[in-house]
Amino acid sequence: MFLRKVMSSTTRQIRQIQQIKRISGTRLFSEMAETAPEIEQESQKIEKSMNQVTLLGRVGGEPQKRGNDNHPVVTFSVATHTNYKYDDGNVVQRTDWHKIVVFRPALRESVYRFMRKGQRVLVQGKLYYGEIKDENGKIRPTTSIIAEDVVMFQRKDEDVD
């Protein structure tokens, strides 16, 4: 059954390439038709993956410049909340803190200039796991979100310029 599906898929792809070849008549498509089985085998080895994080929360402190002139970075923290309601009616709020790092030059400068503590923010990026050496030389694991986009919401008490 599986082999029949693979054969059917391969046959269908070869027919499509042959049809394109008849329509175009170019050498490029004839070369593609000859290499189609090789391309299909390689594409089966490569699979798509995704590393995407979206956070909506409040900024925990003023953004900080880190790094050096060659590799500048701006970091800040974001708090997100999860509410739990127990059977007895008590509601408990759990706060998670997330470390955000911004490398993109224009985004980095905007975040540093305009973001303020307590501001509501939407961060989209990817999860990154790394290691840092503490002051005692011990290696500790660290987790951060590398920001690809940051949307800062205006606070109600701020005036529009």
pLDDT at 1 over 60: no
pLDDT for res 14:
65
Q: What confidence score (pLDDT) does residue 34 get?
A: 58
Strands (E), 68-117: 72-85, 91-102
Q: How far apart are CA 114 and CA 150, in angstroms?
A: 11
Asked if residues 69 and 84 have their Cβ atoms less than 8 Å apart, the reply is no
Picking from 155, 76, 69, 78, the residue whose alpha carbon sits closest to that of residue 110 is: 76
The confidence score (pLDDT) of residue 38 equals 60
Closest listed residue to residue 147, CA positions, set 66, 52, 65: 52
Q: For 112-143, how does the pLDDT look when each residue is reduced to its tens digit (9 = 90+)?
A: 999 999 999 999 999 999 998 889 999 999 99
- CA dist 18 and 24 (Å) reads 10
Mean pLDDT, residues 19-44 taken together: 55
Taking the C-alpha atoms of residue 115 and residue 108, their distance in angstroms, rounded to an integer, is 10
Q: What is the pLDDT of residue 3?
A: 40
Q: Given the structure tokens 């050096």, which residue do they identify?
A: 68
Residue 43 has a pLDDT of 61
